Structure 1
């Protein structure tokens, strides 16, 4: 809870630094997310969605600060195909991590329309699931598929932190496009206390971090 107040406090604190009245808007777009490969060597990038609200507060003629509150889908997927005594087997699985994120971007406006940005992102987990299916195709027979979906929220840390670096271009004073890469700093695997009082870590002590590339549109009111 303290971390949530920290993120929201940074949003509220930007009003104190604004030189002129801030503007507000909405933004949405595509996430191409992945999980660092410690224990996920075969993982591929997964597409997801992000969307939410932002406030842009000018600090000077060339600098501004933009806190955001977004719903953002992170995770990764794997696809594995091999042959067995049963026939051809195809396993497809994905880890779906849903966050409320609070990026706080410091923007440098090289021109009135073009800007660079960088800053921290604070994420708060709201959902986590592992989904997948296995398809077995016997030689000369028809395929059979079985699927599963498991809630893994108890195995994932509730707080995620990263840093974003991006660029943007405003087509008009209201409409713009933005691309951003967010590199995770925190391990997504939760540490659990065992029955014997010792501390254990899920996923065989692997340390995994969220990484995502975002591209989308923004609209200022």
Structure 2
């Protein structure tokens, strides 16, 4: 499955780099990802990561454009529960058991952009998130951390999003988008799991 993900990522990069239209603009971007994860509708503590990648934008008219990107980031969440043990005839609280969930992803966001003015645009699209690996780390103050795979996650996660971009100069820009948790990231017959996340960052267009 990892070979399939690598092939899709390679195909996306190849398509961006080999595009022939002179109207297409290319660039790089990076920034901050704030991820919110839910189990059974219960919200976990948010996790912060970075994202980085490349993009290509094709104008469709004076006000509309389509943009494709190839990004790397991580999603996830963390939680903790009181941990107790039986000592003799008593139940003793020995601290919290911590859970740290991480989804390492290659993401391919595709969006339609509308330019209100030449420097300001809004976008709507779908982010195709391919899991490279999914990890779960558990531990408490009285035991070593245990790291393993987080079973049940889909290989492909879908995140619809809304966003906005502002061009500071013809080459430098800032953007932000929010990805909605409408679609579960786990397979059927496993724990209902959803992830929503905010991405905000800066970018540079080469032309």
**Does the TM-score normalized on the shorter chain lie above 0.5?**
yes
Choose which of 106, 109, 121 in structure 2 pairs with 1:100: 106
How does the TM-score come out when normalised to structure 1? 0.76
Partner in structure 2 of residue 47 of structure 1: 48
1:114 Cα offset (Å): 1.1
Over residues 15-38 of structure 1, what are the superposed CA-to-partner deviations in whole Å (9 max), with x where a residue is unaligned?
Answer: 69x7x6111111111111112341
Question: 5+ residue gaps in structure 2?
Answer: 86-90
The answer on whether the counterparts of 2:36 and 2:43 sit within 8 Å (CA) in structure 1 is: no
Other-structure match for 2:193:
208
Query: Would you say 1:165 and 2:162 are equivalent positions?
Result: yes
Bigger fraction of residues in strand:
2
CA distance in 1, matches of 2:79, 2:65: 40
TM-fit CA distance, 1:81: 5.1
Q: Which of 17, 24, 45 lines up with 1:22 in the alignment?
A: 24
The residue that corresponds to 1:128 in the other structure is: 134
- Give 5+ residue unaligned stretches, structure 1: 136-143, 192-200
**Which of 146, 149, 152 is the equivalent residue of 2:147?**
149
Q: 2:173 aligns with which of 171, 176, 184?
A: 176
User: 1:141: which partner in 2?
Assistant: none
- 2:82–2:93 contact (8 Å) kept in structure 1: no
Tell me the TM-score normalised to structure 2 length: 0.81
Partner of 2:120: 114
Specify the alignment match of 2:88 in structure 1: none
- Is this contact kept in 2: 1:42–1:78, CA < 8 A? no
